Chain A
């Protein structure tokens, strides 16, 4: 049974059609990267799947539970990390986590263990208003894990973070996936999506354009080539051999066997290039 199952859901804000019937599934232990520019429908999808909005058509299930009919039941088993740092500023990190643990009915919340995991144990009693942006984001991640969720919804979890904080968050995402947690991850960072996601979904203007592994998408929709550099009589020259043509093998053989070989680089399309090719617009639009 998929952890998340979405079938032809639609949603409009007044006349603005935010979702035009999208369908996908996420298996337990899978990380699905949800990619698209601002206003593509990513946040609306997450809001529907976390019970904040009700779809106007279609069926959405989380852990086999209908998100419109069994809200309390499925919400007890999910964790959400928002893009905005919506923490209680006047409360400490520890107090924030204890409060959310009480809402989930967690018997003995391992608050200090979680804070340790995100590197905030030594600042547990400081008020959130005194935290840096990176510390707040790490606390948001700890909050999303307070109820040992089976599904995680992560909306831009590393946006604007320093490399150390971003790496901590990525490590936690990988750990959770290995534990069997299904993760729906939205991000603008193509490298991150490529690194973390088992599959990626491209969404634009409320429609799903593609959903597959990053490798398949890049192979199917991106260019593949080998760039060969040579140096002869002090002059550097470069040959790019496209791999899609039938003559690619022969051309590559000639290129590397020529004298003065300096470097050989394989060239693959990035996810962003694939996205632009498929949708005709960039991811940061």
Chain B
């Protein structure tokens, strides 16, 4: 006689079976640890501090030495005897000169002209790769140098006093590339696990073993719960390990882990959908990539601040990434509540989508 079987026992049995299958899948058994090792290595190889010193070439050399006396933290001046030497150094044609992307060529009588208040032309040499904002900053710097040397006040007042800083003011605590990269690495780890989950589901659908499950006391909700749980635990465990080995569990650890958990749930939901909707393994990978790549945009945007458009905020992963960044900077649950809520809503929506796709697949002719 068979005993009535509980939903929990059914879910546990499916998870055990999936783990067994997963452990025998060579592709994912290689890819999973490889991803972790690779991303950990990338993290530790990234610069751990921001290089804030700007090296500027100055000609003629006498003026450069005079400017050095003014002293300025973060500004390193390299003196050149002539404008020609300076231009060659910026162009990278001076092997002995330090790497230089900006050069200021003052006229020989610059100090005299500045003292008399006469106009003077200063030529600014810039490498083509120097961003426009840095070029503008150098132009302003030249004007400031001129007025500093001449002793006259600047004719235009700066807006520093009226500047309003939104969010955490990170003045003087710039985020090193390594830290900017961290959310992206975490998201990539989650993504790999989601694809592994998607491939498990795709195999279940394409081999029609799902039909064999559904003629037993198993319900489609049990399959969804088992796969979702396994996918989430695998993804979360991988991401947690990455955070651990990269010493990234600082700040508000509980909030950070909640953000990662929501990320794991989100990618598992997408894994469920793509696994159920894809026709085969390749179709699942294609669908997975189609969904996952846009989700990486908020994490990419952290690498290049100011580049992301406002629409990025509607992406399901936006709240998760922002919550991760905020939590790692010590922000509390209350401050991050909005991000958590939007992420949780997306998780529910994605799981519902996955369930619908699965239902559609199992009831098709």
Binding site for B on A (CB under 8 A): 13, 18, 44, 50-53, 71-72, 75-76, 78, 80, 82, 84, 86-91, 95, 99-100, 102-107, 143, 147-148, 153
Contact = CB atoms under 8 A, between A and B. Distances in A.
A104 B208 contact: no
Interface string B14-51: 10110011001100000000000000000000000000
Contacts of A99: 13, 16-17
B215 A75 contact: yes
B88 interface: no
A82 B208 contact: yes
B217 A86 contact: no
Given A13-B365, A80-B215, A105-B217, 18 more contacts: A51-B215, A52-B362, A52-B363, A75-B217, A76-B2, A82-B212, A86-B209, A86-B211, A86-B212, A91-B17, A91-B20, A95-B20, A99-B13, A100-B216, A103-B10, A103-B216, A103-B218, A153-B215
8 cross-chain pairs, A with B, having the tightest CB-CB distances, nearest first? A105-B5, A86-B208, A102-B13, A80-B215, A90-B24, A103-B216, A50-B215, A105-B3
Nearest to B362: A52
A3 to B, nearest CB: 16
B143 interface: no
A158 to B, nearest CB: 19
Contacts of A153: 215
A143 B212 contact: yes
Contacts of B16: 99
B208 A105 contact: no
Contacts of B156: none
Contact of B25 (A51, A84, A90): A90
A90 B23 CA distance: 10
Contacts of A72: 217, 219
Given A87-B209, A90-B21, A95-B20, A51 B214 contact: yes
B4 A105 contact: yes
Nearest to A143: B212
Contacts of A89: 207
A88 B216 CA distance: 15
B13 A103 contact: yes
B16 to A, nearest CB: 8
Contact of A147 (B2, B4, B219): B2
B158 interface: no
Interface in B163-177: none
A94 to B, nearest CB: 12
A13 B24 CA distance: 38
Contact of A105 (B9, B211, B362, B365): B9
B208 A107 contact: no
Nearest to A86: B208
Contacts of B207: 86-87, 89
A82 B215 CA distance: 10
B178 to A, nearest CB: 39
Contacts of A86: 207-209, 211-212
Contacts of B365: 13, 18, 44
Contacts of A95: 20
B70 interface: no
A102 B362 CA distance: 22
Nearest to B364: A13
Contacts of A50: 215
Contacts of B4: 76, 105
A47 to B, nearest CB: 8
Contacts of B208: 82, 84, 86
Contacts of A51: 214-215
Among A13, A102, A107, residue most surrounded by chain B Cβ atoms (within 10 Å): A102
B247 to A, nearest CB: 37
A33 B317 CA distance: 55
A52 B208 CA distance: 12
A154 B215 CA distance: 13
B128 interface: no
Chain B CB count within 10 A is highest, among A51, A53, A105, for A105
A69 B209 CA distance: 24
Nearest to B7: A72
